[in-house]
Amino acid sequence: MKNAATARWDGPVKDSSGKVTAASGLFKNAPYSMKARFEGGAPGTTPEELIAAAHAACYTMALGVGLMKAGLASKSIETTSVVEVVLGEGGANITTSALQCKVEVPGADKEKVRALAEGAKTGCPVSKALAGVKITLAVDVKV
């Protein structure tokens, strides 16, 4: 399976903005800019926000698959990813993706769910793609 998106930037990078479009049509011409990325307070998305969305979605699916393979039925899984980009002398670097997960698995053993959650952290494809980034996980398990 291949997925695609297109980004376009017009004008000098520092003083203008770009637009990003998902091939699926989910979003089209979503604005992004240097100001939004490094200063905040500007409308639009950032590459790091898109990575955070991808990481949260991928991790949630990976945990769901892990629970299913273990014979456990989740009632809900909700994950937030906070991706940090730091601008330094060597340029911009994504330094962390902090996953925060709330999972409800009625009747399950909490430690088993926690172990599966840790496995999903390292096993999801986006985590693998972010191998050079510090990935943390906080899990709130409700049984």
* pLDDT tens string 88-138: 898 999 999 999 999 999 999 999 999 999 999 999 999 999 999 999 999
**Which run of H or E residues covers position 18?**
strand 17-22
How far apart CA 62 and CA 33 sit, in angstroms, is 31
pLDDT above 90 (res 8): yes
- Cβ pair 51, 94 in contact under 8 A: yes
* pLDDT tens track for 64-86: 999 999 999 999 999 999 999 99
**Cα distance from N-terminal residue to C-terminal residue, the chain:** 35
- Would you tell me the crossing angle of helices 47-69 and 110-123 to the nearest 10 degrees? 130
Burial of 130 (0-12, 13-18, 19+ CB in 10 A): buried
CB neighbours (10 Å) of residue 104? 15
DSSP class per residue in 70-89: TT---SEEEEEEEEEEEEET
pLDDT of residue 14: 81
For residue 118, the SS3 value is helix
Higher pLDDT among residues 54 and 87, named by residue: 54
Predicted pLDDT at 32: 95
**Residue 13 pLDDT more than 90?**
no
Query: Which pLDDT score is estimated for 88?
Result: 87
Round to whole Å and give the CA distance between 110 and 67. 12
Q: 47-142 in CATH: which number?
A: 3.30.300.20
- Looking at residue 136, what is its pLDDT? 98
Domain ranges of the chain: 5-38, 47-142
Place 15 in a pLDDT band, splitting at 50, 70 and 90. Answer: confident
Which DSSP helix (H) or strand (E) runs through 48?
helix 47-69
Highest mean pLDDT among 31-40, 48-57, 88-97: 48-57
Task: With CA atoms as reference, report the closest residue to 136 among 74, 54, 80.
Answer: 80
